[in-house]
Amino acid sequence: MDQNWSKRVLETDGSHEKGRRNGSGPVAVQMCQSILPCHANHQGELGAGQLLKWIDTIACLAGEWDCGGVQAERHAGIACVTASMDDIQFEETVRVGQVINIKARVNRAFNTSMEVGIYVTVQEVVSGVTKRVCVAFSTFVAKPTGTQKVSLRPLDVQGSVEEMLEHSLASERRRLRLYNEEAFKNLMKDYYNLQDKGLCSRKPKAPVVSTELTGVESIELVLPPHANHHGNTFGGQIMAWMENVATVAASRLCGYYPSLGAVDMFRFRGPSSVGDRLVFKAMVNNAFQTSVEVGVRVEAYNCEEWNEGTPRHINSASMIYYIPGRDGERQTFPDVTYTTLVYLGYNNVAALTVLAGKRGWEASNINDKVGVYVHEEADMLCLKVEMEVKTTAFHAFSLLSDLRLRPQWDINYLSCEEVEKADEEETIYHIKCATVNGGKSRDFVFLLSKRQPCKNGDPYVIALRSVTVATVPPEENSIRSEAICAGFLVHEMGYSTCKVSYYNQVTSGVLPYVEGNIAGWSKSMEETAMSCISFLERDVLTTVF
């Protein structure tokens, strides 16, 4: 998206309106705002939360307008809700007295969703100079009233070459959103490269700050002004609240007023509505010299859920902050140390999701109930074991997510002790494993992160990765080993049948337990899988009778 795009959406020859009436062409809308003190923070800069609200509003209007157009035969002005917003890089700071222009157009309509492109510029009133603030892509889902079904007709783009290019690229961006494989893979690869090089534990140049000291929790009650006419909370309002707590968390680390530089993808996992209590939790994830990443999690409660203490996880995002310095140079942040688990679970689950989404798994051994697969990529070796189990997915999830039960079916687990429980979804375990080939015994310290499905078709997730905690130091008579990424995905196949898939990114600490299978002279993985199946199915029989 470029400057030509911003010019094209300003055309006033009626072609866009004509496209709307014909139910085929793209629709562009725009918003122009003069920045007043009420829109700005104490430094006279436009608040990022306010900008995110405007971006979401204009994108939603473009989506609803186009919904009304492409479905004029059956629907008139179908409401839209925000499903996700791609990463945003903020290139310019907007100040009081300047004029901001936000333009949005539907790039492509899919079956029930559409991509909206948003282009934001800022203009200096006196000089007339215009600069780009950011470019964003938002995905909206059409939500008709009642039980009507939505099936959006594809847009018939007959405009310029640039418009047709955006239409084509929208399909590719959608594919990347659905899989997120490359983005998450690069993120995790960079993270582990830093760990391997020792850069994550460099000698601090400034006093070390505990991430726990940056934690922020805030609650908001969703009122009618925060929601649309269907009672669903505006996505932009939620993003603004998220930006508020993230800014407070970043300021607690640096002791200054940081500026928001970028936002990683907002993904709305579920809706919230008027009357819900929204709890926002933010904490610094890591500091990278001149920038800092803050993780934000949003939980929703209705009245019943509030009394029972059972939240709905509806959104997560990461925000990147920096401290503006003199002559355009950014100031450095202090180093951080980790003393909490609440926000490490996101990367844990993300890593397993990326591993499970890899393509090109090669079958090593398959029988009626168990399949073993191998995936090789550069210097990385991954294993997958698929099991068909005659039990419900939830029952298998409940048993597998308690590692203390694993010694009952995995002969490599001698013992498993719960060390720390951050909440209902994150727990740390200390595992002692059997010796291999007469060597020393090994032990692991795992963070287990478990997630239940957000919607039908999603799997139950049990993610595992090694962590370091002061309460479990290495022992002299054993080898402290590490696992980068492992865990289970449990898919429901029927009323009383599920598919359990186990994944493991092989490390030097895991290799001794699987090298026989890789070489082909051992069937220990298949035997362990059959033992797991028997355990899960046997437990069903005992609980039923």
In the chain, where the domains are located: 27-68+76-176, 208-339, 348-542
Is residue 372 within 8 Å of 365, Cβ to Cβ? Answer: yes
- Residue of 132, 136, 173, 167 lying closest to 264 (CA atoms): 136
**192 vs 520 pLDDT, higher one:** 520
Q: Give DSSP secondary structure letters for 337-392.
A: E----TTTHHHHHHHHHHHHT-S--EEEEE-SSEEEEEEEETTEEEEEEEEEESS-
Answer with the residue of higher pLDDT: 479 or 164.
479
- What proportion of the chain, given as a percentage, has pLDDT over 70? 77
3-state secondary structure of 74: coil
- Summarised one tens digit per residue, pLDDT across range 418-470 is 998 877 888 999 999 888 777 778 889 999 999 998 778 889 999 998 887 87
| Structure confidence at residue 346 (pLDDT) | 74
pLDDT for residue 521: 58
- The mean of the pLDDT values for the chain is 79
The closest alpha carbon to 423, from 309, 300, 341, belongs to 341
Chain CA centroid to CA 300, Å? 17
Least confident of 58-72, 248-262, 312-326, 508-522: 58-72
Q: How far apart are CA 272 and CA 247, in angstroms?
A: 23
- When pLDDT is averaged across residues 394-413 and rounded to a whole number, the result is 92
pTM here?
Answer: 0.54
Q: Is 208-339 in CATH node 3.10.129.10?
A: yes
pLDDT, tens digit, 9 for 90 and up, residues 467-505: 878 788 888 888 888 888 899 999 999 888 999 999 998
pLDDT bin (cut points 50, 70, 90) of residue 131 is very high
The superfamily (CATH) of domain 348-542 is: START domain (3.30.530.20)
* Common-topology check for domains 27-68+76-176 and 208-339: yes
Residue 275's pLDDT is 94
Torsion of CA 57, 60, 62, 64, to 10 degrees: -140
Higher pLDDT, 272 or 421: 272
Q: CATH topology for 27-68+76-176?
A: Thiol Ester Dehydrase; Chain A (3.10.129)
Please state the rounded mean pLDDT for residues 87-113.
88
| Lowest pLDDT segment from 116-120, 386-390, 432-436, 530-534 | 432-436
Q: State CA 179 to chain mean position distance.
A: 11
User: Taking Cα atoms as reference points, which of 81, 74, 82 lies closest to residue 151?
Assistant: 74
